[in-house]
Structure 1
Amino acid sequence: MAKQFPSIEAPHRAFIEAQHMFFVGSAAPSGRVNISPKGMDSLRVLGENRIIWRNLTGSGNETAGHLKLANRMTLMWCGFEKRPMILRAYGSARTLHRRDAEFDELNAMFPEIVSARQIYDMTVDMVQTSCGYAVPFYDHVGERDTLAKWAEDRGADGIRTYWEERNQHTIDGLPTDILGPSDDT
């Protein structure tokens, strides 16, 4: 049976912080819905209604483009180990790029990595838990180092080039503002 809460309670926070992976869902008013898995050390619960997560450079940049047009986001965690639970946090978020004043302060809450692309500062307006009884068991073996090595090999200049070539627009052609504000929405 699903239960809904107006904020992140202590047991929710403990569950979130114990997970090794979470999923992000976003969508513009039209076009494709994006659901993306996130890992590494990239999320912090900062209060009852606030979560930040750091987005690392990758093949797509959907969330940034979606939030420009529809400021809504869902985060989801699954209990793959002992405790069967699914937890979703619903809310709105703002995109902070490296050029934004608050980026450095929030980015300092995470381990240093050259591929940090954005930070999403989410205001949670509802938390929902459900049983998760059908979620299979998985053992966490460890973090992959592939993305960190890829970024280190490219360095800051190579990452910026990647943003220019691959991260300026969503798969539906929406601007992401990765290199600066855009008027083509």
Structure 2
Amino acid sequence: MALDQLKPQDAQQSGSQAQEQIARVERFKVKEALAVALLEGHIEETNRKLHEWVGHMVSKRHGLRDALTDYVRGIMEVHQEGPRLQHMLLEETPMPERLHRVLLDAEQEAVSTMSGLLSLFPEVGPRDLRRSGYFVIHTVESLTHGFAAHQDQEIIEKEEFIAELVTMLEAYLTCKGRRQGEPAQ
């Protein structure tokens, strides 16, 4: 449409469409800020639980199975609060670069913390503890998050879930398979 064909109501309509677009952008910014705040809170709470757990494990000197059970329970607690919202925020919401970096830094810290703790258990054996810490952190985070977010689809009770997950982790950590420095086959 040429400029000379525009009518006054077209300009008003365009102005109102622009205002609607601006309002949508502003609502998106507010929603994004809210999502960022909620995710940052979740990351902080998960880190707090991990460090609280490590302090407890070091002071009580639990065996590996008890230590893993306490850890899984603690992470389950974190995921019990608003599990569907957490799922949406972590899996379905675009993440700003700053928040992505915060999440990656928190994961690296958690892996380092877990690998340090695993070194206290002789039954874990001489393996790449950083890799083991990575697998423990990501396995527990992923499975407990999924369990909490989809409780209506539960095929297993919470206590059974915890016991199965701990058994799986314990078997992985104490297996006589590949050791540190051995190449993958």
What is the TM-score normalised by the length of structure 2? 0.27
Which one has a larger percent strand, Structure 1 or Structure 2?
1
